């Protein structure tokens, strides 16, 4: 079993999509029901690739795609429901009226891309995964709040 301290306030570097997915799989081992994970990074940085690894760990065979046109993708795992929210097409004012509270504060794990749109929710207990491009791949900073 992976210890939570393996990821708490750490920086990782990946060179390929497969390495990014594998890091997502390892990170998924510490997630539990009601966890909220914010994903930040430029368009195409690898947020969805990391999330694919998380979903693969939970036995979800369906290949996750960016949810930009669907807002929410719901997945069933043996542990709990997993929600992939992509808020790219929304602004901060739109998210408050969407009724996404059941995803954020329900029994599942919420994986949220473009989480900056949720500032008014003031979610204090969460993970943040920040992904940036580097000369040789991706820099992935993971913090727990």
Question: So what's the pLDDT on residue 38?
Answer: 96
Place of tokens 């669907």: 70
What tokens appear for 73 in the block? 């993708």
Query: Digits of tens for pLDDT over the chain (145 positions)?
Result: 577 888 999 999 999 999 999 999 999 999 999 999 999 999 889 999 999 999 999 999 776 666 555 678 889 999 999 999 988 765 555 555 566 778 888 999 999 998 887 777 788 899 999 999 988 999 999 999 9
What is the structure's pLDDT at 98? 63
**Nearest to residue 125, comparing CAs of 35, 21, 12?**
35
Contact 1, 119 (CB under 8 A): no
Q: Is the pTM of this model over 0.95?
A: no
HEC string for the chain? CCCHHHCCCEEEEECCHHHHHHHHHHHHCCCCCCCEEEEECCCCCCHHHHHHHHHHHCCCCCCCCCCCCCCEEEEECCCCEEEEEECCCCCHHHHCCCCCHHHHCCCCEEEEECHHHHHHHCCCCCEEEEEEEECCEEEEEEEEC
């Amino acid at each position: 079993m992976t210890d939570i301290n393996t990821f708490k306030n750490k920086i990782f570097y990946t060179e390929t999509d497969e390495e990014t997915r594998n890091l997502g799989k390892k990170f998924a081992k510490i997630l539990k029901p009601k966890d909220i994970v914010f994903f930040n990074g430029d368009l195409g940085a690898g947020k969805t690739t990391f999330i694919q690894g998380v979903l693969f760990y939970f036995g979800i065979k369906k290949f996750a795609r960016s949810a930009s046109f669907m807002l929410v993708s719901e997945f069933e795992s043996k542990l709990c429901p997993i929600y992939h929210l992509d808020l790219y097409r929304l602004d901060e004012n739109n998210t408050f009226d969407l009724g996404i509270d059941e995803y954020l504060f329900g029994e599942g794990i919420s994986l949220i891309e473009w989480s900056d749109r949720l500032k008014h929710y003031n979610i204090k207990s969460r993970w943040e995964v920040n992904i940036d491009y580097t000369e040789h791949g991706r820099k992935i900073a993971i913090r727990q709040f």
